Amino acid sequence: MHRFLQRLLVWISGPAAPPGQDSARPLSLPMAPAAGGAPPGLAETLRAHFRWVETGGKEGRRADFGGKSLRLASLFMANLRGASLRGADLQKAEIQWADLAGADLEGADLAGADLFQSNLEGARLARACLREAGLLSANAAGADFEGADLEGADLRGACFRRARLAGARLGRADLRGADLSGARGLSPEQLASALTDDSTLLPGSPAGSGEEK
């Protein structure tokens, strides 16, 4: 989290402008510079994918990191909406505030990764490893976590509305303040193995919607 705050401050303040030049700069999506373990050309791939998203696939190129190593990589605020990261190695990657809506992360290894406030809405994370990962305040509404390993994960304040959690391992996972209303496939045994409190919205709560199957 300390590295994340440092990165955020640098992005907000930006580099000092040369004498006589206006220091103001427009806000834009950072293109997540490559970090340790990241494949060559990561920034270029992210730019092409961003263009692909913005033009509805007419320009640019969909990012495909399937099976590749992104261990320790910086994907801070990266736009990976609809990208393929199936089976990718994302251990301890910095993925704070990233947009992964609809992305394919099936079987990916996200152990120890930081996904603080990231958007995982509708993403596919079946059989993914998120052991000890940080999903604090993340949006995982409608995401598929079937068979995923979430043991010891920080899920405080995260949204799992209508998410599929059948067979997901939740031992020691911190679900305090999380929204599980409408979550599907979640058993009492799974919940008993996790940490919850009165602020956890459970399936069947008034805030929920839809059937839990």
> How long is the chain?
213
14 vs 62, more confident: 62
Looking at residues 69-89, what average pLDDT do you find? 97
Instruction: Give dist(CA 113, CA 136) in Å, integer.
Output: 11
For residue 147, give both structure tokens.
């068979």
Instruction: Give dist(CA 86, CA 105) in Å, integer.
Output: 5
Looking at residues 92-101, what average pLDDT do you find? 98
Cα–chain center distance at 138: 7
Q: What is the pLDDT of residue 18?
A: 42
Is residue 137 exposed (0-12), middle (13-18) or buried (19+ Cβ within 10 Å)? Answer: middle
Mean pLDDT of the chain: 86
* pLDDT tens by residue, 145-178: 999 999 999 999 999 999 999 999 999 999 999 9
CA angle, corner 2, sides to 37 and 17, nearest 5? 85
Q: What is the pTM of this model?
A: 0.81
Looking at residues 69-80, what average pLDDT do you find? 96
* pLDDT tens by residue, 101-140: 999 999 999 999 999 999 999 999 999 999 999 999 999 9
Looking at residues 186-195, what average pLDDT do you find? 97
At 205, the pLDDT band (50, 70, 90 cuts) reads confident
Instruction: Give dist(CA 139, CA 141) in Å, integer.
Output: 6
DSSP 3-state of 30: coil
> Cβ(124)–Cβ(146) under 8 Å?
no
> Cβ(196)–Cβ(180) under 8 Å?
no
The stretches of the chain forming alpha helices (DSSP H) are 2-13, 42-54, 188-192
Q: What is the pLDDT of residue 204?
A: 83
Q: Which residue has the tokens 């045994």?
A: 189
Domains of the chain and any CATH numbers: 30-213 (2.160.20)
